[in-house]
Amino acid sequence: MGQEIKATGITGGGLMTKYKWLLIFLAILAGSLLAWWLFKPAPVDPIVEEMMFEIEALEQRVNRIDQKVRKEVESIRATVKQEISSLTRDDVADALNAELSEFRRLDISPGGVVNF
């Protein structure tokens, strides 16, 4: 009889081990679901989503304008550089003299304010 009890105990122990692992698995699952429920991100307000979309659209628009302005600046610089390189020394001197004479005609007060 002692041997039968021992054999039943081994079989029952195997069954208890399965339930123990099942309980551990269920406890981990329940803990993870609880943690997810406590720390899940709050739903985003539709107004905030709309504002985020508008901000992205404005950012793209600003980037397009920035690229356009940079291209225009490059073309203006190239044009000015070409015009300057085509001037002779006498033309440069004449342009500087004209600018100086225009500057001398301005009435500048001691405070640095220009009166036209």
Are 99 and 115 contained in the same domain?
A: yes
Are 20 and 62 contained in the same domain?
A: no
Identify whether the C-beta of residue 114 lies closer than 8 Å to the C-beta of residue 108: yes
What's the pTM? Answer: 0.42
**CA nearest neighbour of 23 among 31, 12, 11:** 31
Are 116 and 71 contained in the same domain?
A: yes
Statement: residue 15 has pLDDT above 80: no
Statement: residue 6 has pLDDT above 60: no
Q: Dmax of the chain from CA atoms?
A: 128
The number of C-alpha atoms within 13 Å of 89 and in the hemisphere containing its C-beta is 0
Adjacent-strand bridge partners of 114: 108
User: In angstroms, rounded to a whole number, what is the distance separating the alpha carbons of residues 30 and 70?
Assistant: 58
In order, the DSSP letters of 34-62 are HHHHHHPPPPPPHHHHHHHHHHHHHHHHH
What pLDDT, in 10s, does the model give residues 18-31?
Answer: 889 899 999 999 99
Are 58 and 28 contained in the same domain?
A: no
Are 35 and 48 contained in the same domain?
A: no
Structural domain span for residue 63:
44-116
Query: Tell me, what DSSP letter sits at residue 93?
Result: H
What pLDDT, in 10s, does the model give residues 33-67?
Answer: 998 888 877 777 888 889 999 999 999 999 999 99
Are 32 and 53 contained in the same domain?
A: no
